[in-house]
Amino acid sequence: MPTEAGKFRTISRTFGLSILAVFPDDLYNERLYGKKMVTCYEHIGQHSGCTTQYLKGKKLARPEQYADLQKELENIGYNLNILN
């Protein structure tokens, strides 16, 4: 798998804080309400798309917060270039 540039964001969920990996250079193949989406990945749900509008206001995750998700992505073949 090619190197993917990614950022990790914190997302508040009903079950607590979750970490979302965002790949800003990888356009998702669907649109939401006419808006382009980028590929994202989360432990629960895994690959999906999200709009940049959704990401506004979401804080960057710290390395200790995204370490588990980074490891999961690397275990499935991602070669990450982390942009945080």
- In which domain, by residue range, is 49 found? 3-82
Beta-strand pair 35-42/46-51: antiparallel
69: left (phi over 0), alpha (psi -120 to 50) or beta: alpha
Between 13 and 1, where is the model more confident?
A: 13
Q: How many structural domains comprise the chain?
A: 1
Between 69 and 83, where is the model more confident?
A: 69
% of the chain beyond a pLDDT of 90: 32
The answer to whether the beta carbons of residues 82 and 9 sit under 8 Å apart is no
pTM beyond 0.75: the answer is: yes
| pLDDT tens track for 53-79 | 888 889 999 999 999 999 999 998 988
What pLDDT score was predicted for residue 59? 92
